[in-house]
Structure 1
Amino acid sequence: MIVALLNQKGGVGKTTLALNLAGEWAGKGKRVTLIDADPQGSALDWSQQRSREGLARTLGVVGLARDTLHREAPELAREADHVVIDGPPRVAGLMRSALLAADLVLIPVQPSPLDGWASAEMLALVAEARIYRPELAARFVLNRCAARTVLARETAETLADHDPPALAATIGQRIAFAAAAQSGRLVRELEDAAAAAGEITALTHEIERLGIGRAAR
């Protein structure tokens, strides 16, 4: 399965989710490749930091910030159980290529009206990609949310009736995610990050239950 984390709006946590999703699957013994398709190269920076810390290489990280991604990602998928794409903000050609490569698009949004408005452009790109890939699946992921706030609850309720819908699993606003990333780690590797790690586990389980794969390729 090729999963792409995409949103035209920057700062919604795409890289954090991509790293931890990929790391969760790798921790279960799956063969995982993470494609850094963001010109900023944050996932590659994380991988280099991990190497400097002397930590085990649990997954492959490849830089492919170019609009031939839709041709190259399926080749990588033949040697992996999961490919996770950390997508770019506002690079139209690269965004379209990532959409054409993916089996599932996850659109991270924060509990904010501004994120909802910014997602409209992203959804237009998904609709465009479905002209060529009608089987392309898409879901919102509510990220960096305080579960007990009214805004988070209202956002979740709104997206539940949306097309595409939101996943039930949500990711909280937790310091553990930033602490892990800075040290080249995953939240599942931190001793005091059980809540964050549990959220990522729940997210991967829900994605797996969707039953999306590469049968249509």
Structure 2
Amino acid sequence: MIVALLNQKGGVGKTTLALHLAGEWAGQGCRVSLIDADPQGSALDRSQQRAREGLPRRFGVIGLARDTLHREAPELARDRDHVVIDGPPRVAGLMRSALLAADLVLIPVQPSPFDGWASAEILSLLQEARIYRPQLVARFVLNRCAARTVIARETAKTLADHDPPVLNATIGQRVAFADAAQSGRLVSELDDGSPAAREITVLCAEVGRIAP
């Protein structure tokens, strides 16, 4: 299965979610690769930071920030259980290629009306991709979410009636993710019983259930 995390708005947590999904699957014994399709190379940087810290490699990270991704990713997926694509912000050619490569698209958004408006561009590209890939599945995922705030509830309610729909699993605004990023670790490696680690496990399970 190829899962792409895409949103043309930067700063919504695509890289964090991509790394943690890949790490969760790898921890379950799956064969996983992560494709860094962002020209900024944030996932590759995190992988290199992990190596500098002397941490074992849990999954491979490959830089493929080019618009031939839809041809190269399926080849890579042949001997993998999962391929996770960390998508680019605001690079239409790369975005289209990632959409054509994916079996499932996750669109991270933060609980803010501004994120909803910014998602209009990726939804337009998704509609375009479905002309060629009518079976392409997509979901919003609420990230950096303070679950008890009014705006979080309103965002979830708005997306509940949306196409694509929103996942039930949400990821909180937690310091653990920033702490983990500093050393290239995953939140489960800091504390596998933490709320952040549990949220990633729940997210991964839900993604697995809806996978085409």
Under a length normalisation based on structure 2, what TM-score does the superposition of the two structures give?
A: 0.98
**Is the aligned partner of 1:135 residue 2:135?**
yes
Aligned-residue Cα RMSD (Å) equals 0.9
The unaligned stretches of length 5 or more in structure 2 are: none
Letter in 2 for 1:78: R
Q: Specify the alignment match of 1:187 in structure 2.
A: 187
- The equivalent residue for 2:33 is 33
Task: Please tell me whether residue 162 in structure 1 is matched to residue 153 in structure 2.
Answer: no
* Residues 187 and 193, structure 1, Cα contact 8 Å, conserved in 2: no
Amino acid at match of 1:177: F
Runs of 4+ in 1 over 3 A off after TM superposition: none
- Is residue 130–residue 136 contact of structure 1 (8 Å, CA) maintained in 2? yes
Amino acid in structure 2 at the alignment position of 1:87: G
Query: For structure 1, which runs of at least 5 residues remain unmatched after alignment?
Result: 213-217
Residue pairs, 1:193-204, within 5 angstroms: 194-204=194-204
The separation in 1 between residues aligned to 2:57 and 2:50, in whole angstroms, is 8
2:115 corresponds in structure 1 to 115
CA–CA separation in structure 1 for the residues paired with 2:167 and 2:114: 19
Cα pair 1:39 1:65 within 8 Å, conserved: yes
In structure 1, the partner of 2:171 is 171
Q: 1:191 offset after TM fit, Å?
A: 2.5
**Higher mean Cα deviation, 183-192 or 117-126?**
183-192
1:69 paired with 2:69, answer: yes
Tell me the secondary structure at the aligned position of residue 115 of structure 1.
Answer: helix
Deviation (angstroms), 1:132: 0.4
8 Å CA contact 1:176–1:193 kept in 2: the answer is no
Q: For 1:147, what is the secondary structure of its paired residue?
A: coil
- The residue type paired with residue 41 of structure 2 is G
Secondary structure of 1:83's aligned partner: strand
Aligned to 2:9: 9
SS in 2 for 1:111: coil
Q: Percent identity?
A: 82
User: C-alpha separation between the residues in 2 aligned to 1:211 and 1:173?
Assistant: 26
Q: Which amino acid is the alignment partner of residue 42 of structure 1?
A: S
SS at match of 1:209: helix
Using the TM superposition, give the Cα deviation of residue 124 of structure 1 relative to its aligned residue in structure 2, in angstroms: 0.4
Give the 3-state SS of the residue equivalent to 2:39 in structure 1. coil
| Structure 2 SS opposite 1:30 | coil
CA contact (8 A) 2:104 2:211 kept: no
| 1:215 aligned residue | none
Give 1:100's aligned amino acid.
L
1:209 correspondence with 2:209? yes
How far apart are 1:182 and its partner, in Å? Answer: 1.4
Q: Which residue of 2 aligns with 1:22?
A: 22
Give the TM-score taking structure 1 as reference length: 0.96
Displacement of 1:193: 6.3
CA offsets 1:171-217 (integer angstroms, 9 cap, x no match): 000011111111010011012761000000000100111142xxxxx
User: What amino acid sits opposite 1:183 in the alignment?
Assistant: S
**Could you give the per-residue CA deviations for residues 56-99 of structure 1, whole angstroms, max 9, x where no partner exists?**
11100000000000000000100110000000000010000000
- Note closer, same or farther for the CA distance 1:57–1:192 as it changes in structure 2 (3 Å cut): closer
